[in-house]
Chain A
């Protein structure tokens, strides 16, 4: 019988700890498949964040780091500078990357650091139980914005891809979403392009992946996908924001 699907050899057999309906699992698979298809398992080094993906080092069958909250781009910088031929990537959520780690990601991009950031944006702090993130939409209810995010009180959500694409050091920046199969396929292509930009020495690359958090959004997985499509994509438009020649 023909094999139509198999788990990537770049994934370990450790079961995911992610909640049912969460899209982290899909994102992990796409990253692993890209590494496998590029034949870079022995050169890939990943940096896990603090947040829901804190245990990512258990799931990728490659050399891994676990970084302090927000510091993954700095850790990846050290790792890449020592072994410039390696494929070095960070895997970070929106609290980690866009809030506490804003300085690290901006300057990694500004330096044109030859690393790739896989950035999961689900508009909320997942691991700590659903607090307001820098990416939380205006009006969105979280455990620390129980009446909905009030822009006059705590400002506006950060569009990371648009912001970083203004920097000359950024070589490839794309925003994708995991809400249906065509978009999942696009997300994989984006990760592949970002990795290729890094390996070609073009500079910093980032793929922002719009993701669901059914547990903390208080929605079913199916409702979450609908919510992402209807609320996140209008504020966080999909597309390529930067592509260096």
Chain B
């Protein structure tokens, strides 16, 4: 199945019954799939007049208590940021998919990881976080989407699934597996019509009194600390005896795996991989723990160096951290990574 279609089907299987979107390459198969699949399950697909409207329709549907999703690609996700900030502050659950393309500006339609900062450091205005998944395969993209709905409902924090043109467009086998069901709190806060049996629902992000706004911030931060504790996901590959620890996620991590196998076999360079599956919360502790054995770190990204900042924070000066990046939609090849590993090895 194509990545984008697997993402859409996973949402359906996770109980998503509302989808609002706007066309942009390379994510068009998601709204296209939704437009034919939603009617089959009694759901609603609606093509909005803009990404701005789509995310505000999500605000409306999430506030009404529905499982709802929107998808877009980088420039479109920029347009959604206002709405995402409002959704975060109104403490509404929803899932947003970003099939990242190269930028800045209108950029290109080829794969990129240049939206890391936007995804994990805010994107919109104000102090908020999203739960951000960065799958590295079509199977994992489907798993992450289903997990994202569960986690988002549970914490009332919007979740973002960040793929790229490669994840969205490639075909791989996929099996739809229901994630671990959580005991979901009832959505007593949803605006469904006020019948007097509960408090009036007000879906809102306006808090004009300083002490009230501050209390909302404190409540949100408390939830974020819980998420950091419970939801951080990562995978380690050949880290047991690794001298050089590579940190890479998504599409890039697949190439890094190849490079590690080759570098070990052909050059005897003991490299390993820590692959964040969630990029917020970021697996800072496993990276910090790895500094006890590894002598050097390397971050590989399809960007000019974004995640590497979080790697440096986690390493906290314990060892040198190098960076290898590509831009413009150019995917790094294993030989580039091996050359970089050789360079690091020589300097060790």
Contacts and interface: CB of A to CB of B under 8 A. Distances in A.
Interface of A: 41-45, 47, 54-55, 57, 61-68, 71, 74-83, 86, 103-104, 106-107
B53 A68 contact: no
A74 B202 contact: no
B200 interface: yes
B79 to A, nearest CB: 12
A79 B63 contact: yes
Q: Which of A61, A77, A106 has the most CB of B within 10 A?
A: A77
B166 to A, nearest CB: 31
Given A54-B206, A67-B59, A68-B83, A74 B193 contact: no
Contact of A66 (B48, B192, B196, B204): B204
16 contacts: A54-B206, A62-B193, A65-B204, A66-B202, A67-B56, A68-B83, A71-B59, A75-B60, A77-B46, A77-B57, A78-B57, A78-B58, A79-B61, A81-B18, A81-B61, A107-B53
A59 to B, nearest CB: 11
Contacts, number: 126
Interface stretch (B64-72, B139-147, B153-161, B327-335): B64-72
B62 interface: yes
Contact of A41 (B68, B82, B83, B194): B194
A104 B53 contact: yes
B221 interface: no
Contact of A83 (B57, B193, B196): B193
A53 B83 CA distance: 19
Contacts of A80: 60
Nearest to B198: A63
Size class of B's contact patch? 35 or more
A74 B57 contact: yes
A105 B143 CA distance: 37
B195 A42 contact: yes
B206 A103 contact: no
B204 A63 contact: no
Nearest to A81: B44
A58 to B, nearest CB: 8
A78 B63 contact: yes
Nearest to A71: B56
B86 A78 contact: no
B138 interface: no
A63 B204 CA distance: 11
B191 interface: yes
B53 A45 contact: no
B224 interface: no
Contact of A42 (B59, B196, B203): B196
A61 B196 CA distance: 10
Nearest to A74: B56
Contacts of B49: 103-104, 106-107
Contact of B194 (A63, A65, A68, A71): A63
B66 to A, nearest CB: 5
Contacts of A67: 56, 59, 86
Nearest to A100: B52
A222 B49 CA distance: 42
A45 B191 contact: yes
Contacts of A82: 18, 44, 60-61, 64-66
Q: Which of B50, B58, B200 has the most CB of A within 10 A?
A: B200
B214 interface: no
Given A75-B57, A81-B46, A57 B204 contact: yes
Contacts of B68: 78
Interface string B175-210: 000000000000000011111100011111110000
B20 interface: yes
The 9 residue pairs across chains A and B that have the minimum distance between CB atoms = A78-B60, A74-B56, A78-B61, A82-B64, A107-B49, A63-B191, A71-B56, A75-B60, A78-B57
A67 B201 CA distance: 14
Contacts of A55: 206
A80 B59 CA distance: 12
Nearest to B199: A63
Contacts of B63: 65, 75, 78-79
B203 A65 contact: yes
A98 B64 CA distance: 26
A68 B82 contact: yes
Contacts of A66: 202-206
Contacts of B59: 65, 67-68, 71, 74-75, 78
